[in-house]
RNA sequence: CGGGGAUUGGCGCAGUCUGGUAGCGCAUCUGCUUUGGGAGCAGAGGGUCGUAGGUUCGAAUCCUACAUUCCCGACCA
């Protein structure tokens, strides 16, 4: 490609709408342009990146036995009503009507459509297992789109769906997909980590997320220093440390004017946050309000909490009025002592002794509180986030936390959809049975953003070679004036093209500094500089995007410099 | 939806407090010079100041409503 025939549009200044580095660089390098909130144009340069990611994903999916098809982006309401998700999915599902007043939605995912295909196409166990996939545009009416294509409303996703006669067969494909995903992210060249995850609203037994590691990631991941354990913090089980100590001090009410938070409490009474109990009132299922008790230095894990049968889902904090009626005080002074509602304590909170908590009276706390002696034994459950230094739930090593960007997610769906939509098959005995399902997604556009998030410097993007919009660029110095430079640049351009290198010839009449800065911003992995001075020595300058220094090479070595890798 | 910003040529911003008819940088166009790190000089084009009301002799500036957008929280590839 010749730069003069392409559309490059970079900016020196960072658009004010972009907050995180990948979004800033995607805009500055001219990869994407915003059309509206959560809607982005993929500009020619950005599309090149996306196509390369798609190609890798497609190859590995095919290698793993996937069969590509393409389903419509617009879906009829009927199938969503069958799966009951027309009601359940909520406002994230963009609904619309056609001219006849029939309901449709923009597909946020395709379980319903694929299950409809399966029930029509698949009759015999002999046809299974089978794994269909597509690479397609999805629409989710996100509450808050943000970070450019990282969380946009319309985005490109690879979604695969597998069908099985048995759970064992599903497990096998699940593992195959796990391996295929590892292969995909290895090939792209990203630092990533598969982790155990909560399966969320899609449902199903087991699920695993693939995260690209980056400090700006929206998810916290816990892993063990002792073994392979890794899980999303949402999911990672917290292990209680130690056992409950002796009840050695007496209960005493102390005045604590103006103290509302654990932080203020520990300062006011000069006690460690670990000695304080945090009591949160949330809406319950059996009783209107339920108390959740955590150690002061721990954070509530909403997902774990709403999995408890006593707790309403989604997790909702009790209103100020409800708190008043249950505890006779404001939110900052609640404590578990004397409450007549169900009390659920985190395992670590249940291990506390002689602790400090709210007195259920404004501006007062109680010290020296002990379970069993001063209040009934609580229901014990794991409702907190793991923190660094916790023991690993596997018993080996301790927990460390890193941040990640979720780029892939694989689920075992089981028979949820096939039951609801009557997707059955005849087994060996001629008996009808529900198909087992798995589903497997990769956010293609998000991978591009995550790659930038992980690979950039102050000059711009540093693409992994596998997904760079161009593999190499030729930057001729003052080509307009020098026929020798022009000839040499054209010759190298032809040679690289012949060698199947995705090369860009910067034939624009620009000053060198502008060309260099622009190509570094765009992040092209290899650069060749052709200049009159160097040609006299039969040389070129080569610089890898992440190299600190350029090197001089003989002209003949140029092609090999790239193809040898 | 709750909270907090923002909206002024294509982009980044100043001007708003204290009302007097819009300015800077980048980008664009023309000419000349320059050609190894986003160049210099000279000139040019481009804005009903988000929208609609209101106050005023007069509104980018004050008031009201709305819209759009970004950030923080609950959703997710």
Ramachandran angles phi, psi of A517, nearest 5°: -60, -40
User: Which H or E run includes A266?
Assistant: helix A262-269
User: Averaged over A276-283, what is the pLDDT?
Assistant: 89
pLDDT of residue A553 exceeding 90: yes
pLDDT of residue A342 exceeding 80: yes
CA dihedral over A186, A189, A191, A192, signed as positive or negative: negative
HEC states along A59-92?
A: HHHHHCCCEECCCCCEEEHHHHHHCCHHHHCHHH
| CA proximity to A348, closest of A370, A372, A380, A377 | A380
pLDDT of residue A204 exceeding 70: no
What tokens appear for A42 in the block? 């993929």
| CA proximity to A59, closest of A155, A118, A114, A133 | A133
CA A273 to chain centre: 32
Q: Are A360 and A327 in contact (CB under 8 A)?
A: yes
Domain ranges of chain A: 3-236+401-452, 252-381, 470-563
For chain A, give the number of residues: 565
What residues form DSSP beta bridges with A222?
Answer: A231, A401
Say which nucleotide is closest to residue A209, CA to C1' distance.
Answer: B77
**CATH class, A252-381 region:** alpha beta
Q: Which residue has the higher pLDDT, A323 or A126?
A: A126
Does the CB of A181 fall within 7 Å of any strand B atom? no
Does the CB of A552 fall within 7 Å of any strand B atom? no
User: What is the model's pLDDT at position A15?
Assistant: 87
Place of tokens 């799966």: A83
User: What is the model's pLDDT at position A92?
Assistant: 87
What is the pLDDT confidence band of residue A105, given thresholds at 50, 70 and 90?
Answer: very high
Residues 35-64 of A with CB under 7 A from strand B: 36-38
What residues form DSSP beta bridges with A265?
Answer: none
CA A254 to chain centre: 46
Write down the H helix ranges in A333-461: 347-350, 416-420, 444-454
Residues 129-168 of A with CB under 7 A from strand B: 140, 142-147, 149-152, 155, 157
Strand B positions within 7 A of protein Cβ atoms? 1-2, 6, 11-13, 25-27, 34-39, 68-77
Which of A67-81, A275-289, A314-328 is predicted with the least confidence, judged by mean pLDDT? Answer: A314-328
| CA proximity to A28, closest of A152, A546, A17, A502 | A17
User: What is the model's pLDDT at position A200?
Assistant: 59
pLDDT of residue A415 exceeding 60: yes
CA within 13 Å, CB half, A360: 15
Does the CB of A88 fall within 7 Å of any strand B atom? no
What is the pLDDT confidence band of residue A328, given thresholds at 50, 70 and 90?
Answer: confident
**CATH class, A3-236+401-452 region:** alpha beta
What is the pLDDT confidence band of residue A521, given thresholds at 50, 70 and 90?
Answer: very high
Residues 322-381 of A with CB under 7 A from strand B: none
User: What is the model's pLDDT at position A146?
Assistant: 86
CA dihedral over A258, A260, A262, A264, signed as positive or negative: negative
Please tell me the distance from the alpha carbon of residue A296 to that of residue A294, in angstroms, as a whole number. 6
**Span CA (A482) to C1' (B42), Å:** 28
Q: Which residue has the higher pLDDT, A361 or A67?
A: A67
What residues form DSSP beta bridges with A384?
Answer: A300
C-alpha to C-alpha distances, A532 to A12, A408, A476, A550, nearest whole angstrom: 29, 49, 9, 17
Please tell me the distance from the alpha carbon of residue A173 to that of residue A502, in angstroms, as a whole number. 35
User: Averaged over A428-439, what is the pLDDT?
Assistant: 95
Q: Are A472 and A562 in contact (CB under 8 A)?
A: yes
User: Averaged over A436-455, what is the pLDDT?
Assistant: 96
Which of A128-142, A172-186, A325-339, A508-522 is predicted with the least confidence, judged by mean pLDDT? Answer: A325-339
**Span CA (A192) to C1' (B74), Å:** 26
What residues form DSSP beta bridges with A103?
Answer: A97
CA dihedral over A342, A384, A330, A271, signed as positive or negative: positive
User: Averaged over A325-336, what is the pLDDT?
Assistant: 86
C-alpha to C-alpha distances, A181 to A158, A174, A175, A408, nearest whole angstrom: 11, 10, 10, 8
User: Which H or E run includes A447?
Assistant: helix A444-454
CA angle A402, A462, A543 (to 5 degrees): 140
Kindly report the CATH number that applies to the domain delimited by A470-563.
3.40.50.800
A533 Cβ contact list (under 8 Å, min separation 6):
none
Does the CB of A120 fall within 7 Å of any strand B atom? no
* A205-228 pLDDT per residue, tens: 688 999 999 988 889 999 999 998
What percent of chain A has pLDDT above 70?
99
User: What is the model's pLDDT at position A565?
Assistant: 67
Say which nucleotide is closest to residue A16, CA to C1' distance.
Answer: B12
User: What is the model's pLDDT at position A50?
Assistant: 97
**Span CA (A32) to C1' (B30), Å:** 31
pLDDT of residue A201 exceeding 60: no
Residues 478-517 of A with CB under 7 A from strand B: 478, 480-481, 509, 511-514, 516-517
User: Averaged over A503-525, what is the pLDDT?
Assistant: 96
Residues 425-444 of A with CB under 7 A from strand B: 441-443
User: What is the model's pLDDT at position A529?
Assistant: 97
Say which nucleotide is closest to residue A513, CA to C1' distance.
Answer: B37
| CA proximity to A240, closest of A385, A394, A390 | A390
User: What is the model's pLDDT at position A218?
Assistant: 87
pLDDT of residue A172 exceeding 90: yes
């Amino acid at each position: 490609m010749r730069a003069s025939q392409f559309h490059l549009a970079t900016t020196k200044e960072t658009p004010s709408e972009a907050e995180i580095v990948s979004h800033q660089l995607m805009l500055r390098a001219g990869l994407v342009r915003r059309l509206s909130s959560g809607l982005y144009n993929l500009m020619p340069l950005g599309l090149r990146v996306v196509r390369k990611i798609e190609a890798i994903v497609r190859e590995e999916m095919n290698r793993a036995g996937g069969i590509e098809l393409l389903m419509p982006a617009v879906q009829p309401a009927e199938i969503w009503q069958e799966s009951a998700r027309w009601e359940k999915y909520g406002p994230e599902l963009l609904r619309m009507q056609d001219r006849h007043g029939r309901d449709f939605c923009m597909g946020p995912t395709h379980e319903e459509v694929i299950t409809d295909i399966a029930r029509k196409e698949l009759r015999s166990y002999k046809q299974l297992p089978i794994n269909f996939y597509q690479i397609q545009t999805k629409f989710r009416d996100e509450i808050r789109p943000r970070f450019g294509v990282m969380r946009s409303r319309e985005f490109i996703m690879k979604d695969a769906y597998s069908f099985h006669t048995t759970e064992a067969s599903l497990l096998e494909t699940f593992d195959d997909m796990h391996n295929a995903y590892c292969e995909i992210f290895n090939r792209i060249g990203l630092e990533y980590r598969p982790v155990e995850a909560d399966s969320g609203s899609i449902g199903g037994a087991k699920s695993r997320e693939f995260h690209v590691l980056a400090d700006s990631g929206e998810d916290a991941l816990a892993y063990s220093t002792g073994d392979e354990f890794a899980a999303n913090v949402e999911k990672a089980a917290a292990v209680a440390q130690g056992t409950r100590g002796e009840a050695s001090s007496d209960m005493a009410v102390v005045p604590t004017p103006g103290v509302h938070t654990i932080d203020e409490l520990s300062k006011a009474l000069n006690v460690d946050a670990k000695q304080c109990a945090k009591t949160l009132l949330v809406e319950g299922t059996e009783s209107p309000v339920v108390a959740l008790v955590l150690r002061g230095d721990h954070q509530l894990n909403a997902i774990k909490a709403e999995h408890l049968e006593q707790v309403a889902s989604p997790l909702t904090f009790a209103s100020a009025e409800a708190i008043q009626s249950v505890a006779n005080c404001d939110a900052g002074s609640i404590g578990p002592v004397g409450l007549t509602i169900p009390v659920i304590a985190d395992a670590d909170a249940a291990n506390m002794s002689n602790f400090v908590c709210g007195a259920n009276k404004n501006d007062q706390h109680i010290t020296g509180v002990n379970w069993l002696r001063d209040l009934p034994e609580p229901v014990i459950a794991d409702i907190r986030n793991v923190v660094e230094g916790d023991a690993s739930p596997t018993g080996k090593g301790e927990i460390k936390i890193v941040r990640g960007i979720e780029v892939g997610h694989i689920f075992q769906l089981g028979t949820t959809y096939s039951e609801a939509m009557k997707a059955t098959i005849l087994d060996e005995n001629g008996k009808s049975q529900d198909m087992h399902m798995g589903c497997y997604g990769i956010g293609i556009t998000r991978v591009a953003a995550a790659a930038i998030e992980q690979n950039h410097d102050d000059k711009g993007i540093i693409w992994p070679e596998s997904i760079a919009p161009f593999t190499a660029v030729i930057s001729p110095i003052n080509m307009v004036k020098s026929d020798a430079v022009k000839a040499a640049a054209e010759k190298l351009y032809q040679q690289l093209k012949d060698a199947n290198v995705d090369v860009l010839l910067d034939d624009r009449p620009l000053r060198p500094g502008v060309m260099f800065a622009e190509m570094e911003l765009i992040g092209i992995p290899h650069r060749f500089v052709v200049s009159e001075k160097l040609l006299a020595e039969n040389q070129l300058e080569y610089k890898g995007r992440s190299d600190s220094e350029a090197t001089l090479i003989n002209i003949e070595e140029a092609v090999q410099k790239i193809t040898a890798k």
